[in-house]
Chains A and B, each alone.
Chain A
Amino acid sequence: DVKVTQSSRYLVKRTGEKVFLECVQDMDHENMFWYRQDPGLGLRLIYFSYDVKMKEKGDIPEGYSVSREKKERFSLILESASTNQTSMYLCASRQTLAGAEETQYFGPGTRLLVL
Chain B
Amino acid sequence: SQQGEEDPQALSIQEGENATMNCSYKTSINNLQWYRQNSGRGLVHLILIRSNEREKHSGRLRVTLDTSKKSSSLLITASRAADTASYFCATDAHFGNEKLTFGTGTRLTIIP
A-side residues, CB < 8 A to B, are 4, 33, 35, 40-43, 45, 48, 56, 58-59, 88, 90, 92, 97-98, 100-101, 103-109, 111
Contacts and interface: CB of A to CB of B under 8 A. Distances in A.
Given A104-B45, A105-B45, A42 B88 contact: yes
Interface in B88-112: 88, 90, 92, 97-105
Contacts of B98: 97-98, 100
A109 B30 contact: no
A67 B19 CA distance: 41
A110 B33 CA distance: 23
Interface residues of B, number: 27
Given A103-B33, A104-B35, 19 more contacts: A42-B4, A42-B88, A42-B102, A42-B104, A42-B105, A43-B88, A45-B99, A45-B101, A92-B43, A98-B98, A100-B31, A100-B92, A101-B30, A101-B31, A103-B48, A106-B44, A108-B42, A109-B40, A109-B41
With a 10 A CB-CB cut-off, give which of A59, A100, A108, A109 has the most chain B CB atoms: A100
Which are the 4 A-B pairs with shortest beta-carbon distances? A106-B42, A42-B104, A43-B102, A100-B30
B70 interface: no
Nearest to A107: B42
B50 interface: yes
A45 to B, nearest CB: 6
25 contacts: A33-B99, A40-B104, A42-B88, A42-B104, A42-B105, A56-B97, A88-B40, A90-B42, A92-B42, A92-B43, A100-B30, A100-B92, A101-B48, A101-B50, A101-B92, A103-B45, A103-B48, A104-B33, A104-B45, A104-B90, A106-B44, A107-B42, A109-B40, A109-B41, A111-B40
Interface in B43-75: 43-45, 48, 50
